[in-house]
Structure 1
């Protein structure tokens, strides 16, 4: 029997806490050739519809050599080859399919400069990898991770690429697209030294600036820094290089990852690790007084580190199909705002490294937003974040955990039943969640929400919900018998179940500018309460 407990949440819509800006609507993935599939385009459109602010989308392998066919942790555009005499040959055919899809969907590319084309790799050796989820992660490391054998050709390629994008899509549009150089060079994505990376970064960044004066460029996209001396060393030395050489930089990028495990008989999330990564990276940025005015981008901010490692092979990833992933995203993103404020450093965006995987079984436990064209519950967590707008207002819960407790101990004892709220000219949005690291069905919160500071009168109240029984296509699929062939009306039913569910609509009577709302919120449940004047 599920235990319940009482929670009180107080929201004062009259007490502004400053402008709200989404940092959560940034997404990424390894495999660029998924972008222009039918399911890829469908999902890109869904990301655009999340909020009025266009999503930023990042992908690896935009300069990788190959035939353009997707595979796990692999993709290619073959943008650069050389003729028999060693002269550069540029071919933007596949690149254009990728960027056309972004532009058509209304996305803003976060353009990743990487990886090294085969003809430019200083030791290509084995180049194309054939990784599967049962292989060691490091087997992806092949010739694409090498430094360039010719820095001038490398710079010329980046310059030509930037000019091609400007010519195809218009310079004004392309100037709004941020660029970043490489990915996790402190990890397994770079075979060179730190000085070689800095040299490669400078050439690429200056080429972009020469081609598109006014373009924004950042890096180095190092790994999470908590308890990771290698990542700490790399980020410090890169930032020192930037200071010493006046290297072009407009934002500083790093990554943050959690650490789920199997605890007893269930998944236990490692939210504290992800938050500690963010904290540690921001602390390093704060060591450089001339750089800490720059915004930061968390280029990958996730519950763990391998989107293509399925839960079938790695059972600690079993959070991915259902509502726990969505509740985790809401918890981690709201805490990311808090860490930004604590450090005094702007976090411009936090990239969720999840998209889709084509030609895979239904709900196979990959870290993705949709499966076979059907949205997963996590996407509804983002949809509720997308209903926040305007400016933050005061919200307090008597069952909220403070962030220091979470970073030291995780959410292992009482759950974090918490809320944030925003106001705009047309109403108020209140986001409430019941998060716990342990993936067990226990601990429903009987929430009493006291809202004041709204316009007097009768207002429309809409209650959106994601939990085990709402906005959760995985639950519907399991009730169907977990089929691997889904067609016709079953597909339509499953597709509809992946959308954000309305739990109820009613009228909120606020004769004196105050209203009380009650609801029961199960563990790993998220509600968005919208008051429309």
Structure 2
């Protein structure tokens, strides 16, 4: 233990020397008296391909942690809720075997695996986003060139018949009705009425082996089935890819036209649409031997999607769920498979996410739409190496730094308030060229009842060592009757809230001892930079000065 402590101390000293802040501090101004909009828990949404991980050891553990990080409801979206199979998870593959036909061609509905999955959601206290996909084997239509039903990672998981249209749309609608009816009977109408029912996943690419028009028909029959079982169910889609490309933008646009102008293929009535979903993604790469993130790629897709939604007056105020919003597109591709995914284990991922959170709220305000969710497609993978570099929140039960930025966001509440920073990279510059020249040293703040919170970061797309910044944060607008405030300063950086750093200092063990595992568990939690401190308020203001390394994220939580 003494050797490990000395190793950590030396590493911290080296890092501090490499990132010594410059002489001129960045000035951040926060005005609690200037509201800028409601703070919504867009952070409290998560998802994963492998729905069967829900019932496994570390999946159960992580679901409880996700519930506990937020005072708001936490929503979980998973693929393969309707896929045929034995219920054994593999990378990018799961199944429930909910539907089959017997020797006489009669439908058979089996909710055994479904109940295990949804029971764990209820046990953890999280709410499902019920993704209606993929196609059961006995319901899948024949599609030329698609012969095999189950095609699993590392092969192309979207090439199999589980992504085919139904051979009988009425039978598809009846499956969805039966499925929803069962959920209502098991968990109650009141509870299921708070869930979101989303039709399919990314039907504009290989996850759907039909035409856009066939997807519209799939959607119509699905929402008709849901509403027959639960008339007030929240239904929507299309869960298409990020509309930065012309093809993806056209798909989202044409889907909205279908809902607005067409009659349902299922019942001849208006097409229900309660929320709109799509999937913006970033685009990291390796440049000159280091990871370079692609934040602008993700935000451009968001901006385009928001502009499309805003162009429909009837839909402009519908909830928007970014039902996958991530730095790139393959959670199950480890950094061993793709070196650009090396961002996932350390503090770069949280700093990227903090920067994105503010940008998403700013884009919502700019386009006057109603964003409610930035769903992180990240969970955990059972039976994989420690810190193998999957897009996960934890590894073998050890929380990774990324989970702590969501814990920070869960400490924010009330309304968003005005912030400015002399170190900010403007949203327009990020959209056009990312964060590629100077660091983005910026803040996002909220004010609640008797508290305020300032999220602060020093982000750069390039994951290379660089000098940090000294940051002077002035928080004004504190109520005049308040004379002192309690500051709790949380930090994610190379040596705080960072289990990956501790694991590497141990020698990167794949079979840690019980003592090492306990230390890793502890180091994965959100950590205070220093002890809580009472600050004197002068003229409604307090000032906090801090050294902020590159790719570090802070949360200054004030109470009075």
Normalized against structure 2, the TM-score is what? 0.93
446, 461, 466: which one pairs with 1:437? 461
| TM-fit CA distance, 1:202 | 0.1
Which residue matches 1:17?
A: 36
- Rounded to whole Å, the distance in 2 between the matches of 1:476 and 1:299 is 32
Shift in Å at residue 31 of structure 1?
0.3
Correspondence 1:288-367 to 2 at 5 A: 288-367=312-391
SS in 2 for 1:89: strand
Question: Which of 189, 201, 218 lines up with 2:236 in the alignment?
Answer: 218
Cα distance, 1:3 vs. partner?
5.3
Equivalent of 1:140 in 158, 178, 185: 158
Deviations 1:193-226 (A, max 9, x none): 1111100110001111111011110111111111
Unaligned runs of 5+ in 1: none
Q: Tell whether the 8 Å contact from 2:280 to 2:299 is kept in structure 1 after alignment.
A: yes
Q: 2:474 aligned with 1:450, yes or no? A: yes
CA distance in 2, matches of 1:34, 1:302: 20
Displacement of 1:506 in angstroms is 1.2
User: Quick check: 1:131–1:140 contact (8 Å CA) kept in 2?
Assistant: no
1-side partners of 2:407 and 2:424: how far apart?
Answer: 22
Instruction: Please give the secondary structure, in 1, of the residue aligned with 2:324.
Output: strand
2:223 to 205, 210, 217: 205
Shift of 1:115: 0.2
Structure 2 residue aligned with 1:152: 170
Tell me how far 1:293 sits from its aligned partner. 2.7
| Structural mapping, 1:270-281, within 5 Å | 270-281=294-305
Superposed, which structure 2 residues align to 1:84-483 within 5 Å? 84-123=103-142, 125-132=147-154, 135=155, 138-226=156-244, 228-245=245-262, 246-455=270-479, 456-483=482-509
Q: Structure 1 residue 347: deviation in Å?
A: 1.0
Q: Give the secondary structure class of the aligned counterpart of 1:35.
A: helix
Q: Once the 2 structures are TM-superposed, how far is the Cα of residue 139 of structure 1 from its aligned partner?
A: 4.8
TM-score normalised by length of structure 1: 0.97
Deviations 1:478-508 (A, max 9, x none): 0000011023111000000000001112111
| Residues 240-284 of structure 1: CA deviation (Å, up to 9, x unaligned) | 111122311101111100000101120000000000011111222
CA distance in 2, matches of 1:346, 1:208: 24
The aligned residue for residue 46 of structure 2 is 27
Q: Who is 2:266 aligned against? A: none
Deviation at residue 295 of structure 1 after TM alignment: 1.8
Stretch of structure 1 that moved more, 518-527 or 286-295: 286-295
The SS at the match of 1:184 is coil
Contact in 1 for aligned 2:53/2:59 (Cα 8 Å): yes
Number of equivalenced pairs: 528
Residue 7 of structure 1 is aligned with which of 26, 45, 70? 26
8 Å contact from structure 1 (residues 432, 526) kept in 2 = yes
CA distance in 1, matches of 2:541, 2:323: 41
SS in 2 for 1:243: helix
* SS, match of residue 276 in structure 2: strand
Supply the distance in 2 between the matched residues of 1:83 and 1:443 (Cα, whole angstroms).
67
Q: In 1, are the aligned partners of 2:92 and 2:157 still within 8 Å (CA)?
A: no
1:510 aligns with 2:537: yes
| SS at structure 2 position matched to 1:529 | strand
Native 8 Å contact 2:19 2:550 kept in 1: no
Q: Which residue of 2 aligns with 1:45?
A: 64
Please state if 1:520 is matched with 2:539: no
Q: CA RMSD in A?
A: 1.2
Aligned-partner SS, 1:4? coil
| Secondary structure class of the residue paired with 1:336 | helix
Distance in 2 (CA, whole Å) between partners of 1:452 and 1:237 is 47
Alpha-carbon shift at residue 14 of structure 1 (Å): 2.0
Q: Which stretch shifts more, 10-19 or 188-197?
A: 10-19
The answer to whether the 8 A contact 2:50-2:92 is kept is yes
Q: Is the contact made by 1:435 and 1:524 (CA closer than 8 Å) also made in structure 2?
A: yes
Instruction: Structure 2 unaligned segments of length 5 or more: list them.
Output: 1-17, 263-269
CA distance 1:283–1:459, shift in 2 (3 Å): closer
Greater mean alpha carbon deviation, residues 284-293 or residues 142-151: 284-293
Whole-angstrom CA distance in 1 between matches of 2:247 and 2:160: 21
Deviation at 1:511, TM superposition (A): 4.4
What is the CA–CA distance in structure 1 between the aligned matches of 2:486 and 2:261, rounded to whole Å?
A: 58
State the distance in 2 between where 1:51 and 1:139 align: 33
